[in-house]
A = this chain, B = another copy of it.
Amino acid sequence: MQFDRIRLSALHQKVMSAEQATDFIKDGMTVGMSGFTRAGEAKAVPQALAHKAKTQPLKISLMTGASLGNDLDKALTEAGVLARRMPFQVDSTLRKAINNGEVMFIDQHLSETVEQLRNHQLKLPDIAVIEAVAITEQGHIVPSTSVGNSASFAIFAKQVIVEINTSHRADLEGLHDVYIPTYRPSRTPLPLVKVDDRIGSAAIPIDPAKIVAIVFTEQPDSYSTVSVPDEETQAIASHLVRFFEQEVQAGNLAKNLGPLQAGIGNIANAVMMGLLHSSFEHLTMYSEVLQDSTFDLFDAGKLDFASGSSITLSERRNAEVFSQLEKYKNKLVLRPQEISNHPELVRRLGIIAINTALEFDLYGNVNSTHVCGTQMMNGIGGSGDFARNAHLAIFVTKSIAKNGAISSVVPMVSHVDHTEHDVDILVTEQGLADLRGLAPRERAKVIIEHCVHPDYKAQLQDYFDRACHKGGHTPHLLAEAFSWHLRLEQLGSMKR
């Protein structure tokens, strides 16, 4: 055990095994854990908890930053530990339990969880479990590969368990910028005005007396699951790059575009990869998760600075990047997700937000979460934090899914996460629809023209024509609005 990672020596006596630490987590508690997009989650304690729950009753409400790696949500679900879970997840076992109504899932804008805790809108965590690379001389916690909600969880909780993960380099220290907004009614402006501003502290400031246990682990983060760009995602990227070029030429966008945010998943990553071969330089990112593409852009000399809340890399890039951390360290900062996603900052900085839709409709409403209106995929994540206040709110998706059985452009989305008011640009491999300043009937025309897969074009045009005949500002035929989803359910394809 690397006791030098605990620089406040009075805390050395708190070191114990993960099993022992789980004794602080009682049945019925609300627990806040670190972890954001599979990075920096506490590992040993939740694993021990899942193990323990096999032999004794143990149900908790679990809050994290966002998704966990290392199959932790799977293990906790299988052990029946999760009564409630918020604000985001990506695990297929947990997903099933959520959709069966077994785990109560509270799907939230990622910037809002700690704000709601601070304002007594949600029950405060009884205990926090936070992965760290070190504890400072003051007893403050130095986070690892994500900040997420860790700082506020540790501040709000009465007790804190720290997991020191020695698989992370100790010199991650210095990468983080922990800022906590002041309390209302005397809250002051967030002092950040540039993506690379540092406004907080390098560690999470808590009273070390709250640290009840310290657990050592050396289990690494999971790798990200992004795949290499394919033909369709490359086509999406090039439509978008062309659009950016036109906007710069027209004087509507700065030469370096402005701070970029890119959502989770393959498509958003591919879009960022697309910028590698563009003419843009001095790019910056103000995003949530920093993926492979961020470091590829650094290496290509395209990117000047990246602010995020976590770093999640593929197997290909992980060792490479972390073994050369010094190369990137002064161009990177990790912030609490409340700050990386804060509406105040998203609006001030003028972010270009690129997120992925499951489906969108004729009028530009976007569904990011619910397959066929009912089955939760992951959660809204930060997409709403960014899209609402972005300079440009862009949503991308392939025009079809499941070998064409599904059109991702439908008459009416079966669930709305982002309304027409919050969506500027839609892109599929077919093309790009610029919806800015258009009324619903005009939006429908450009969406049909540019985004729909040829197999579904006539079918969608037919719906739109008949809906217009019936009338309304936003023409619809309520009796048929979900007929595509119903046909999929009944006949296995949306195709007529």
Contacts and interface: CB of A to CB of B under 8 A. Distances in A.
Given A116-B436, A189-B189, A439-B104, A479 B482 contact: yes
A104 B435 CA distance: 13
Interface stretch (A47-55, A118-126, A265-273, A398-406): A118-126
Contact of A350 (B109, B119, B415): B119
Given A109-B421, A191-B189, A421-B109, A374 B472 contact: yes
A474 B116 contact: no
A316 interface: no
Given A347-B344, A474-B374, A424 B186 contact: no
Interface in A93-130: 98-101, 104-109, 112, 115-116, 119-123
B485 A436 contact: no
Interface stretch (A70-78, A224-232, A250-258, A288-296): A250-258
Given A121-B437, A388-B388, A193 B184 contact: no
A447 to B, nearest CB: 16
Contacts of A416: 365, 416, 419
Nearest to A480: B482
B437 A123 contact: yes
B421 A373 contact: no
Contact of A374 (B194, B258, B437, B470): B470
A389 interface: yes
B347 A384 contact: no
B185 A350 contact: yes
A99 B185 CA distance: 43
Nearest to A373: B476
A370 interface: yes
Contacts of A478: 372-374, 414, 482, 485-486, 489
B101 A481 contact: no
A149 to B, nearest CB: 15
Nearest to A473: B376
A194 B189 CA distance: 11
Most chain B CB atoms below 10 A, which of A185, A191, A193: A185
A299 interface: no
Most chain B CB atoms below 10 A, which of A100, A250, A436: A436
Contact of A348 (B344, B347, B391, B417): B344
A438 B123 CA distance: 11
A105 B349 contact: no
Contacts of A474: 370, 373-374, 376, 415
Contacts of A56: none
A482 B486 CA distance: 13
A375 interface: yes
Most chain B CB atoms below 10 A, which of A98, A365, A384, A439: A439
B348 A441 contact: no
B349 A120 contact: no
A441 B185 contact: no
Given A99-B471, A374-B474, A416-B419, 7 more contacts: A101-B475, A104-B442, A107-B420, A188-B348, A370-B473, A373-B481, A482-B482
